[in-house]
Amino acid sequence: MLARLALKLFHSPLGVFVRPVYRLYEGMLWEQVKSGPIPRHVAIIPDGNRRWAREHGLDPRGGHEHGYRKLREVLDVLWKLGVRAVTVYAMSSENCVRRDPAERAHLFGLIERAIEELEESRVLDEKRIRVKVFGRLDLVPSSLVSKIREVEARTELYKDGTLNVALCYGGREEILSAVRRLVEDVVSGRLSPDGVDEGTFVSYLYTSHLGELGDPDLVIRTSGEVRVSNFLLWQIAYSELYFCELYWPEFRTIDLLRAIRDYQRRERRFGA
């Protein structure tokens, strides 16, 4: 509630007095965060685009457009902070099936445009960021899959950062897929049942390419919803969760810095 009230004040006529204070506060937060441990891997559930659009008299496509621009802003801040891996929940497998076809087509087109703009900006090459997209890509238009495979291949050897995009993704489906492939390898004799441990199982997950970066240290969800919605169910077993009441298009740099500051103040227990 306080975050939404502060946002309304920021955009009100009184905002002319509030904005200088906001800039000072953002600078203070930046210095605090930079002096603490930076999470290696941040996962984001950018929720609330459609509700934000309705409140502003827009159709869902307008919300997704604003959400995409917000994601670019947030990614830029995360790279500047030194975060090594970012995983974004772009679309759930349920949304890839149930969502209105016109809205779904717009989302796919937006993702295709995002890939093109990322490549045109050269940010992937300058920062040496690897791109990996995972999920039920059989539900994705072939033109978009081709774009995905191209950018994955071109950035495959980059090691300074990783951008994961979970597209038509479901955590339960990922685990089931891993189990099926593992069982096939056991039945065929390529893998001994005695050799199946947690590390072996992880190698069958979509995120096995992350290697030493491992699972998310911090998961951020916007829009006030307090749930993980079938996102990275195996990987976030020991992640720190942070829920923000603002819709994703409203999410500001100070909100991101607060999330990381909150992470820095916690004592990670890993099941203890």
Do the beta carbons of residue 216 and residue 41 sit within 8 Å? yes
Do the beta carbons of residue 170 and residue 93 sit within 8 Å? yes
Locate all alpha helices (DSSP H) within the chain, ordered by sequence.
2-10, 15-34, 49-55, 60-81, 93-98, 101-121, 123-127, 142-154, 171-188, 198-202, 253-265
Active site residue 95: yes
Which of 49, 59, 76, 95 is labelled catalytic?
95
What tokens does 142 get? 């072939």
Which of 47, 215, 217, 255 is labelled catalytic?
47
Active site residue 47: yes
Q: What residues contact 154, with CB distance under 8 A and at least 6 apart?
A: 119
Q: What residues contact 177, with CB distance under 8 A and at least 6 apart?
A: 204
Q: What residues contact 78, with CB distance under 8 A and at least 6 apart?
A: 42, 86, 256
Catalytic residues: 47, 95
